[in-house]
Amino acid sequence: MIPLAEARRVVFDACPLRAPEPMAVDAVLGCVLGLPVVAAVSVPPFTNSAVDGFAVRAADVSGAPVELKAVDTVVAGSASSPRLEPGRAIRIMTGAPLPEGADAVCMVEDTTVAGGGTVVIGTAVAPGANVRRPGEDIAAGERLFEAGTVLGPAQIGVLASVGLAQVTVHRRLRVGVLSTGDELTAVGQALAPGRIWDSNRPLLIAAARASGFEAVDLGIAPDDERALAEAFADASGRCDAVLTSGGVSMGERDLVKVVLERLAPGSMRWMQIAIKPAKPFAFGVLAQGTTPVFGLPGNPVSSLVSFELLARPALRRMAGHHRIDRPVVPALASEALSRRPDGKTHFARVVVHREEAGELRAVPVVGQQSHQLHALAGANGLAVLPDGTGVGVGGAVDVLLLDAEEALGAARTSVLRLLGEPPVDSGTGGR
Ligand code: AMP
Ligand code: MG
């Protein structure tokens, strides 16, 4: 057996960062910038009003209430604005260019339109009040984002605000997902005796998508060398990386590692990793290119754990991410997390929740075997149990959070709660 860290090194070394390329801003959500972005223009680009109201000279309204002649209106989108003469006011809308001669805007709430085309300004304003100056958000020439920035909604909005329709990013990886096994039947088809539905492919396709990759469904390959070789040839032409499940254990029909050895000579590594679940793992880079193949174990829980610990971080690295792993947080065991010494690090499926006092508690789910996928679906974390006898009740344990939002008690800390409203409970919501 080799330590997990060594297995990750082997994999990471063979999964170099993909070169960045230009991409339309509407397609870059979740992608990582490959080059820094510098603003060519200022935002706002011109002086404009921050409110709906009346553009004035602050000096004219210092003795408020005062009545001014309201001479004109400027709306957002106006190409230009009339000049404001002393003793006058110009009605102005949010975002409209500030008239020359004006230096402040009175909010409409502080004004009363009087008869005869005049307005009473009820409150004095300081020069610059309710006025947005050019460059207050972004100055032309400013470095907006460094290479390595992950592009979320706010970053994408900023790019558009400076007029960028295209940026250079590490493209979303296309990750192929192949199930292997003579016993597998695609969902939607009837099950013959001795067969099971293929759950790993939907599971891993979803896992790939949830991690920001594009998933390519490569179907099911039987336990047959030729069929597997064909599936790999097909995959290497249209995928940046391939996830397979099954066929990497000690059985005589475990042929993924055999075929990989043939197609990826030199780079293929069949490993026994000192972890439980997910001990067996095969890895190779297909000879015809740069397509890494992650041979995940077949048991569904092992498949997902192997994806989380090996494939996902390696793929995120290839896609330019610096934060490649899930967060690991310290928690206290609400129940014993027992195990036997076996030279491996165990990853126990647990539910993490936040106590009222703020500390995190971990409770193991019932069903810790590697075929018990339903139990995994009820967990939100993997408790990391180093070799030994485990952790007793109340003991400290590190937990890898598969669903950090849920584990950290999103409802408990929601903004509604801070505002004194009861959290929305999905079970009773709407009633
Ligand atoms: P293997 O490593 O191929 O021997 O598979 C280990 C176990 O995982 C066996 O019980 C398989 O039937 C099961 N298994 C393998 N692939 C899948 C799959 N795609 N969906 C559900 N179970 C699977
Ligand atoms: Mg199999």
Burial class (CB in 10 A: 0-12, 13-18, 19+), 201: buried
The CATH homologous superfamily for domain 48-132 is: Molybdopterin biosynthesis moea protein, domain 3. (2.170.190.11)
- Residue 259 CB coordination number (10 Å): 27
Say if CB 406 and CB 390 are below 8 A apart.
no
Q: Which residues fall inside 5 Å of ion ligand 2, going by CB?
A: 181, 246-247, 298
Phi, psi torsion values for 141, nearest 5 degrees: 95, -10
What CATH class is the domain 4-17+173-318? Answer: alpha beta
> 21-43+136-170 maps to which CATH number?
3.90.105.10
Q: Do 64 and 133 contact (CB within 8 A), yes or no?
A: no
Note down pLDDT in tens along the chain; length 431 residues: 999 999 999 999 999 999 999 999 999 999 999 999 999 999 999 999 999 999 999 999 999 999 999 999 999 999 988 999 999 999 999 999 999 999 999 999 999 999 899 999 999 999 999 999 999 999 999 999 999 999 999 999 999 999 999 999 999 999 999 999 999 999 999 999 999 999 999 999 999 999 999 999 999 999 999 999 999 999 998 999 999 999 999 999 999 999 999 999 889 999 999 999 999 999 999 976 689 999 999 999 999 999 999 999 999 999 999 999 999 999 999 999 999 999 999 999 999 999 888 899 999 999 999 999 999 999 999 999 999 999 999 999 999 999 998 888 765 667 777 788 776 665 544 33
- Residue among 180, 185, 195, 200 whose CB has most ligand 1 atoms within 8 A, to mutate: 200
What's the gap in Å between 215 CA and the centre of ligand 2? 22
Q: Whole-angstrom Cα distance, residue 361 to residue 332?
A: 5
Distance CA 406, CA 418 (A): 18
Ligand 1 atom at shortest distance from the alpha carbon of 183? 12
CB 316 within 8 A of CB 364: no
CATH code, 328-418 = 2.40.340.10
For ligand 1, is residue 49 a contact (CB within 6 Å)?
no
| Global pTM value | 0.92
Q: What residue spans define the domains of the chain?
A: 4-17+173-318, 21-43+136-170, 48-132, 328-418
Distance 13 CA to ligand 2 centre (A): 28
